[in-house]
Structure 1
Amino acid sequence: MRTSTPERIRAMTEAGYWGGDTLHALLAGWARRTPEAPAVVDQPNKEELTDLPPHRLDFAALAAFSEQLAAELLARGVGAGDRLLVQLPNISELVALYYAASQLGAIISPIPVQYGAHELKQFAGVLEPAAVITLARFRDQELAARAREALPESPVWAVGTDLAAGGPGQTFDREALAAHLAAHPADANDIVTVAWTSGTTGTPKGVPRSHNMWLAIARNTMAAGDYREGETLLAPFPLINMAAIGGFLFPSALLGANLVLHHPMDPPLYLRQLQQERATFTIAPPALLNQLAQRPELWQQCDFGSLRAFGSGSVPLSPAMIAKIEGDYGKPIVNFYGSNEGISLFSTPATAPSPEYRAAMFPRLGVPGMPWEGEAHASTITRVIDTESGAEITAPGTPGELCISGPAVFDGYLGHSGEGVFTDDGLFRTGDLVEICGEPANYYRIVGRCKDIINRGGMKISPSDIDTVLEGYPGLAEAAVCAYADPMLGEKVCACVVPAPDTEPPSLEQLCQWLLEQGIAKFKLPERLVVLDALPRNPVGKVVRGNLQDLVSEETPS
């Protein structure tokens, strides 16, 4: 399967942004050069979660395991172009499966383990998979049984039972695999994954991506995080989307890095792995970084000596957190902003030295006159447009939709007409609202999704603006705002808070007074407060604003 036109392939190749590397060929290269170097490490509680033993594989063993899985899939009838719906947590079998599919020319479509029968039917209806690959058990969920019930006409194979039943190191039919590879040579412009949009504003859509698209995102991530050959990367986010596939899987293949797996997020275990495995780089959830910043005694209990830097993202970061972790603890913070479709922006200590800028601003890549350097700036075009007229916005402080093109950007959604997805000249319309900002105005600041903006009597309010400030309120574990209906103004702001353990929630008056002291405009203040046990988040950790509004409509206001 290929989605890029010959013209796009030629242009990207001639510019040097796309090449001939494939995922499995990169692995094979490291297996030859550094066969005994560590390649992938399972989390220590894997058996408790899945009934499968944890593995530590070097590059030779990982290459052999991926070939073993490729041969098993081939024997079951999977070939080039076939689509596999995969529902697995972060385990070494999933990593090997990516490489195996790459070898066969098959396409992996990974989905979160949290999804149930309804979502399985949705995805399968669009993807038309040749098979579903999952687990017999994950925690208390019987994934394979659920998939078989939801998709009775699709083959469902459980790793550890139907595939790789004996784990790595089993014999397989090398001749049949070699014959298949000879008949179906891999191409870096072939689609290797169909990931899915996070679904915060609507039904998830399939995002086909080639090896070259993923490698472009990986190179941007590596440059921002200063990734280094052979280092140890701790991956706490599920290998189903841009953050983990582009931030960990493909960089580990490019650099021969050791990929340490963690999932689901368990902060004590995550911190233990970070120390025991001597991780040099990781991407941490903002909430965990906030906790480390607010509790110096917790930081001092841990040994972060091997760690170069933290990456983070998915929501605006706290400037106070960045100042604390960099200033007092000496660990740089890199703010990433990306998507499965190919958004690939980042804010680093070099491009945004002040915590206030790095917390919420990103360099305007590809815009003439900017001071930025490097491949990401040279290869990317970004623009802000009016959401209704499509006219370009060049003045600071005016919200508009971010549009982007470049080697990391996809060609279009699976089975979608393409209407409204791209501008007339081919830039992807991200659906994210940004405004040009900074002094000088060399940055973008995310102000929300096009459908997230709260309209209070004609005054437009960005929820993410208030979220960022609320994160610093003492005694809150989580906080976010959303709209609620008002007969006079149309919408007002509701603050949704999750108190920290053994902490009383603030009153609405206390919260508003604190927001005023932080400089929030009075018209943006919440006029309702709802206390929750947890905020609704999607599998990659983003607050699902629509679900939050549903919860608010059911709660009695404070």
Structure 2
Amino acid sequence: MQTSSAERIRDLTEQGFWGSDTLHSLLASWVKKAPERLALADQPNKAELCGLPAQRLSFAELQQFSDQLATELLQQGIGADDRLLVQLPNISELVACYYACSKIGAIISPIPVQYGAHELKQFADELQPAAVITLSDFRGQDLAAQAREALPNYPVWALGEDFAAAGPGHVFDPEPLAKHLQQQRSDANDIVTICWTSGTTGSPKGVPRSHNMWLSIAEYTMAAGDYREGEILLAPFPLINMAAIGGFLFPSALLGCSLILHHPMDPPLYLRQLQEEAVTFTIAPPALLNQLAQQTQLWEQCDFSSLRAFGSGSVPLSPSMIEKIEGQYGKAIINFYGSNEGISLFSTPATAPSPEYRATMFPRLGVAGMPWQDRAHTATTTRVIDPESGQEITTAGVPGELCIAGPAVFDGYLNHNGAGVFTPEGLFRTGDLVEICGEPPNYYRIVGRCKDIINRGGMKISPSEIDTLLEGHPDLAEAAVCAYPDPVLEERVCACIVPAAGREAPDLEALCAWLLERGIAKFKLPERLEVLDALPRNPVGKVVRGQLQAVVMAPGENS
């Protein structure tokens, strides 16, 4: 299955942005170069999570294990372009499945382990998978039984039972796979994954991506994070989307890195793995980095001498956190902003030296007159357009929709007619609201989603701007704002807060006074306060503002 046109393939290949490497061809190259090097390691609590033994696999062993899985898939009738719905945590079997699917030309569609029967039906209706691969036990939950009940018309294979039951080292007949590889030549422009949008504003949409698209994301990520050959990478985010697939799986294949797995997030175990595995690069949730910055004693108890840098993102970062971890602890912070569709922005110590800039601003890639010289800038085009008129915005401080094109960007959603997805010039309409900023104005600041903007009497308010300020409040563990209806102004702002452990929640007056001290305009101040036990988040940790509004609107349930 290919979604890119012959013209697009030709143009990007001639420009040197796309090539001929596939995920499994990269693995094969490292089997030749460094067969005994550690390729993959499970988290030590894997058996407790899912009843399967933790594994440490060299590149040669990973090659053999993925060959075994590829052979099993072929024996089950799975072949080129067949789609597999895969619901697994970060375990070595999931990584081996990626390589196995790459080898036989099947398409892997990974989904979060948190999703239930309703979401499974949604995905299956869109994907029409040939089979489902999952677990019979994940933290006491029978995911396979759930899938069989939700999807009675699809084969469901449980790891360790129906599929990969023999495990690594199992002797199998290599001939079926060898014959398949001779008959079915792989192409770097073939679709290898169908991931899903996070569904923060609606139902998740399928995002087909080729090897070349993923490799472009990986190249940008590696350049931003200064990844190096043979490094040790700790992947704490689920291998279901851009952050983990583009930030860890493909870079590990490109550079022969050791990939250390972690999931679901367990901060004490994560910190332990950082030290015991001598990790050199990882991506950490902003909340954990904030904790490390605030608790110097905790940092000093750990040995992070091998670590070069932290990546982070998905929400605006704290400038004070960056200043503390870089200035006092000596570890660089890279701010990533991306999506499964191919958004790839990043702010590094080189492109945004000041913590204030790096926390919230990203270089304007592909815009004439910018000082950036890297491959991502050369390959990528970004523009800001007025969502209503479609006119380009070039003035600083005026919000507009970020639009982007380049070799990392997908061709369109699964089973979608393409309406409204791209501009007439072919740039992907991200739905992200940004403004040009900085002195000089060489940066973008993400100010929210186009559909998230609160309209208070004609004054447009970005929720994420207020979220970022509230996250710095010392008495709050979590905070986000959303709109609630008003008969006069159309919408007003409600602040939803979760008090920090052992702290008393501020009242509305105190919260607004704290915001005013930080220079916020009065018309942006919350006019309602809700104290919650937790904010609704999707499986990748983003606040689902639609669900937050539903909680706010539910009568009699909140404080």
Superimposed CA distance per residue, residues 214-256 of structure 1 (whole angstroms, 9 cap, x where no aligned partner): 0000000000000000010000000000000000000000000
User: What is the CA distance between 1:207 and its match in structure 2?
Assistant: 0.3
Equivalent residue number for residue 215 of structure 2: 215
User: What is the CA distance between 1:140 and its match in structure 2?
Assistant: 2.3
Report the secondary structure of 2:237's partner residue: coil
Equivalent residue number for residue 236 of structure 1: 236
Equivalent residue number for residue 298 of structure 1: 298
CA distance in 2, matches of 1:503, 1:526: 21
1:411-430 equivalent positions in 2, closer than 5 A: 411-430=411-430
* 8 A contact 1:198–1:540 mirrored in 2: yes
CA distance in 2, matches of 1:295, 1:508: 28
User: What is the CA distance between 1:168 and its match in structure 2?
Assistant: 0.6
Which is further off, 468-477 or 229-238?
A: 468-477
Which is further off, 316-325 or 198-207?
A: 316-325
User: What is the CA distance between 1:295 and its match in structure 2?
Assistant: 1.4
Report the secondary structure of 1:123's partner residue: helix
User: What is the CA distance between 1:94 and its match in structure 2?
Assistant: 0.2
Sequence identity percentage? 77
CA distance in 2, matches of 1:61, 1:542: 36
Q: Which runs of 5+ in 2 are unaligned?
A: none
Equivalent residue number for residue 385 of structure 2: 385
Distance of aligned partners of 1:134 and 1:396 in 2 relative to their CA distance in 1, 3 Å threshold: same
User: What is the CA distance between 1:321 and its match in structure 2?
Assistant: 1.0
Equivalent residue number for residue 318 of structure 1: 318
1:35-434 equivalent positions in 2, closer than 5 A: 35-434=35-434
Superimposed CA distance per residue, residues 411-462 of structure 1 (whole angstroms, 9 cap, x where no aligned partner): 0001000000001111000000001111111000101000001111111110
- The one-letter amino acid paired with 2:27 is L
* 8 A contact 2:532–2:558 mirrored in 1: no
Equivalent residue number for residue 495 of structure 2: 495
CA distance in 2, matches of 1:375, 1:89: 33
User: What is the CA distance between 1:294 and its match in structure 2?
Assistant: 1.4
* 8 A contact 1:530–1:556 mirrored in 2: no
- The one-letter amino acid paired with 2:293 is A
CA distance in 2, matches of 1:347, 1:161: 45
User: What is the CA distance between 1:509 and its match in structure 2?
Assistant: 1.5
* 8 A contact 1:83–1:106 mirrored in 2: yes
Superimposed CA distance per residue, residues 98-147 of structure 1 (whole angstroms, 9 cap, x where no aligned partner): 00000000000000001111111111111110000001111121100110
CA distance in 2, matches of 1:300, 1:479: 29
Superimposed CA distance per residue, residues 467-486 of structure 1 (whole angstroms, 9 cap, x where no aligned partner): 11111110221111111122
Which is further off, 338-347 or 161-170?
A: 161-170
* 8 A contact 1:107–1:192 mirrored in 2: yes
CA distance in 2, matches of 1:316, 1:293: 16
After the TM superposition, which parts of structure 1 deviate over 3 Å for at least 4 consecutive aligned residues? Answer: 555-558
- The one-letter amino acid paired with 1:313 is G
User: What is the CA distance between 1:556 and its match in structure 2?
Assistant: 5.8
TM-score (norm 2): 0.99
User: What is the CA distance between 1:166 and its match in structure 2?
Assistant: 2.1
Report the secondary structure of 2:376's partner residue: helix
User: What is the CA distance between 1:35 and its match in structure 2?
Assistant: 0.7
User: What is the CA distance between 1:293 and its match in structure 2?
Assistant: 1.2
- The one-letter amino acid paired with 2:15 is A
Equivalent residue number for residue 478 of structure 1: 478
CA distance in 2, matches of 1:28, 1:172: 19
* 8 A contact 1:120–1:147 mirrored in 2: yes
RMSD over equivalenced CA pairs, Å: 0.9
Which is further off, 503-512 or 349-358?
A: 503-512
Report the secondary structure of 1:446's partner residue: strand
Q: Which runs of 5+ in 1 are unaligned?
A: none
CA distance in 2, matches of 1:505, 1:297: 26
Superimposed CA distance per residue, residues 387-409 of structure 1 (whole angstroms, 9 cap, x where no aligned partner): 00101111111111000000000
CA distance in 1, matches of 2:332, 2:41: 25
Q: Matched residue pairs, number?
A: 558
Equivalent residue number for residue 446 of structure 2: 446
* 8 A contact 1:318–1:469 mirrored in 2: no
Superimposed CA distance per residue, residues 291-317 of structure 1 (whole angstroms, 9 cap, x where no aligned partner): 111111111111111110000000111
- The one-letter amino acid paired with 2:289 is L
CA distance in 1, matches of 2:286, 2:483: 23
Superimposed CA distance per residue, residues 510-545 of structure 1 (whole angstroms, 9 cap, x where no aligned partner): 211111111111111111111111111111111111
User: What is the CA distance between 1:491 and its match in structure 2?
Assistant: 1.1
Report the secondary structure of 1:491's partner residue: strand
